[in-house]
Structure 1
Amino acid sequence: LEAAGDFMQLPPVKAASLAADPVQPKDMDLTARTAWESDHEEAISGRKLWKNIDRCILLDYSHRCAGALCTLLYEMTKHGKLSQDSWAALQNRVLTHPSAQETRQAYRQAPFACQDCPVGVLRHSVRASFTYERAVGFARASQQRLLVAVASDRCTGQSANFQLQSAVYKDLASVHNLSTTAHLPNCLFLWRGVRLTLEEKMCVELGVVRGCAAVVLDILPDEREPLYDQGAHLEPFLFRYVPEAPIMEVPGATWLKEPELGPGRFYLGRAKRNWKYNVSITMACHFLDAATTKKPVTINRVQLPVTNMFALTVYALQGQTLPAIIVDVARPPGMSRDEHWISLLVLLSRVRQIEDVVILRLPKKKCFEGGPPEFLTSEYARLMCLEQETLLMLDKQLAAVRLHDIRAQVTQPLLNEMRNTVETRKRQDIQSSSLPKRRRAT
């Protein structure tokens, strides 16, 4: 088991984690509890497998980050406090900071002014805003007209009996969380050459699954779509109908799906998926009972199963290594300290060095401090105890077969380092306990 920086990123924001037991809501009846266990089956199984690990060695080494960025992340996770040098390094990457002249120059050039550089955000509504803003800029830079495919929504099943007002459909278009909308976006921004992420599992063996990046070669509009001018100087064009399919290519792929298109190229047709939505009483009061304030309806959405990659949430970015990233890390209203701290760690650790980051909004210094959430630190402590047992067992096995050279190079240095760490922490605890406590102001 290798537990390093990525271990500290479990979870990003309110996600199930291997490092903590899933929390079951209180006062649930048998039916609700059964449904909850079914919905969280993967999280429960994953946690059980994780707890069954009986041997591990922790490798304190960053495979991605280096220099000032590595120091900053180490201070966040190990010390729970940022040095003035690390705080100054962050401020120098803030686009609006007086000392960030080099950052402002770099922001207008590669790699930041490229499609490969996403904006990392903490809210889906912010993601949608940045996606449109960057789509307009990149389409103009490619000298093509921006084409906008809006999802087609309608009520289905018993919900089809309801005559929803237009305000309801406007409200549907404001739901930007892809997990809610069955991974079909409200709006899709298209032109030849735009890079998109698949939201469809086409071929597991070839890796053509959700999250796979592909490039649009051409766009086949619906047969009912009127002809439109493709001049790059024109305002964005809004399709009346969801396009029939884009012709897409996975760069570097050698497999052949459509012989007439060539290697790595394929048609991607429209998808139909259902999702649930609670209609507000103020929008559809004519079909709600007087005692209710919301009515759940089933929405059938038709859209191309792809999403733009210009802006991504912390969920989508976790695990990626990027050439550069632009981040908006201001703390949103209602986000807890622990969620925000983990999100900061995830977003900043996507690149190799601090110069690969541009920060749009920076929170206060205290948001980076305080260390990991309690459930992560307690799990890390458990793994450290498990590591000691693993090393002692391995050392005994090496001694039994007289592999003393390996003991001297591997297990003995690690055990000595572990003992020194324990002694250092004991001294620090003694020193901190001997300090006079501050009196609270009255």
Structure 2
Amino acid sequence: MLVGTNFIRELLNNSKAKSSCTGELIYCAARDTIDGVEPTLNERKHLLSLNLADFSSEGALPGLIPLFVGMPVILRNRNISTELGITNGSQGIVRKVFTEPCANNYSVAKCVIVEFPDSSVDLPGLPPHCFPLTPTTWKFTTVLSDDKGSKRNVHISRLQLNLQPAFAITGHAAQGKTLPQVLVDLAEGGFAAYVSASRAQTREGLFVTNPVTLEALNKPVTSYLRQECRRLERLEHNTKIHYGFETGNIMAPLDPEGEAETEPLDPKNIAPEPRPVSAPDPLPL
């Protein structure tokens, strides 16, 4: 299923992992250290429960990953081998999970054998298309509170698998892929709806969760986006003239913090661009 946010993706993946597992469901915990020191039990629980779904840092690793043999997974934020076809976004199937206990009675992953059907990998001792994945390190900063309520910034080093369940993925992660079956809500319209719908290989493979109208699909561009496009066009125009790539007059820059129209305007009613003015000194880029 294609969804709009990482938060919804995680909720659906965790729920589907529980409902689909017929054997042992293994929760692989991250191995965290705080400024190089093992965390206490309470600190570890807090770190594992952090919601990192929308974390701005590239390569964020979750605290807990549910896995079971036969589960579909996606390799995230890691390119192992382009020649073998094992790169960021590659889809696979879990074939074996190796874990070990840590100090606070959590299970941490040592290695996961994943079958990548589209890969040409063939390693001795493993079935064709199978590759062993081990945890990688990700570092981030967060805030912890002690028993007295005092807060402090800490540096966390996290060791975790670069895997996520593949029951649900975001439209952003699905860009460039074609899928045999796609379940999606197109009501948000715009470019996101186009990306989601065009992932399906066939019309019969596209399943829409809610009714959708042409009006919703063809939402007009917001006035704020139009304002920003005009500002960037002027910036491009002024830059080319300033560095001699084009000739002409410098145009007065638009204020990026200025107010834009609150309602979409009919193009016929949009006022024409103001006439260019002479270049001020210094150049207003």
Superposed pair shares fold, TM > 0.5: yes
* Contact 1:197–1:213 (8 Å) recurs in 2: yes
Q: 1:212 to 1:284 in 2, by over 3 A?
A: farther
* Contact 1:168–1:283 (8 Å) recurs in 2: no
Match of 1:192 in 2: 69
* Contact 2:5–2:170 (8 Å) recurs in 1: yes
Q: 1:329 to 1:131 in 2, by over 3 A?
A: farther
Q: Aligned to 1:153, which of 24, 32, 36?
A: 32
Match of 1:301 in 2: 158
Matches within 5 A, 1:277-426: 277=142, 279=143, 285-288=149-152, 295=153, 297-328=154-185, 341-361=190-210, 366-372=215-221
* Contact 2:85–2:118 (8 Å) recurs in 1: no
Q: Distance in 2 between matches of 1:308 and 1:248?
A: 12
**Percent pairwise identity:** 22
Gaps of 5+ in 1: 1-118, 226-238, 289-294, 332-339, 383-428, 434-442
Q: 1:221 to 1:347 in 2, by over 3 A?
A: same
Q: Deviations over 1:134-159 (max 9, x none)?
A: 212322xxx323222132333226xx
Structure having the higher helix fraction is 1
Q: Distance in 2 between matches of 1:318 and 1:216?
A: 23
For 2:70, the aligned partner's letter is: G
Moved more, 304-313 or 348-357: 348-357
* Contact 2:2–2:170 (8 Å) recurs in 1: yes
Q: TM-score, normalised by structure 2?
A: 0.65
Q: Deviations over 1:16-39 (max 9, x none)?
A: xxxxxxxxxxxxxxxxxxxxxxxx
Q: CA deviation at 1:312?
A: 1.0
Match of 1:91 in 2: none
* Contact 1:148–1:187 (8 Å) recurs in 2: yes
Q: 1:303 to 1:174 in 2, by over 3 A?
A: same
Q: CA deviation at 1:316?
A: 0.3
Q: Distance in 2 between matches of 1:300 and 1:317?
A: 29
Q: Deviations over 1:196-219 (max 9, x none)?
A: 112332223222221122222111
Partner SS state of residue 19, structure 2: helix
* Contact 2:187–2:217 (8 Å) recurs in 1: no
| Higher RCO, Cα 8 Å, sep 6+ | 1
Q: 1:348 to 1:193 in 2, by over 3 A?
A: same
For 2:159, the aligned partner's letter is: V
Q: Aligned to 2:138, which of 269, 273, 277?
A: 273
Match of 2:50 in 1: 173
Q: 1:287 to 1:191 in 2, by over 3 A?
A: closer
Match of 1:221 in 2: 99
Q: 1:349 to 1:167 in 2, by over 3 A?
A: same
Gaps of 5+ in 2: 234-266, 270-285
Partner SS state of residue 209, structure 1: coil
* Contact 2:72–2:91 (8 Å) recurs in 1: yes
Q: Distance in 2 between matches of 1:240 and 1:281?
A: 22
Q: CA deviation at 1:283?
A: 9.2
For 2:111, the aligned partner's letter is: A
Give the total of aligned pairs. 230
For 1:286, the aligned partner's letter is: S
Q: CA deviation at 1:173?
A: 2.6
**Does residue 137 of the first structure (1) align with residue 19 of the second (2)?**
yes
Q: Distance in 2 between matches of 1:191 and 1:219?
A: 8
Partner SS state of residue 135, structure 1: helix
Q: Distance in 2 between matches of 1:183 and 1:316?
A: 14
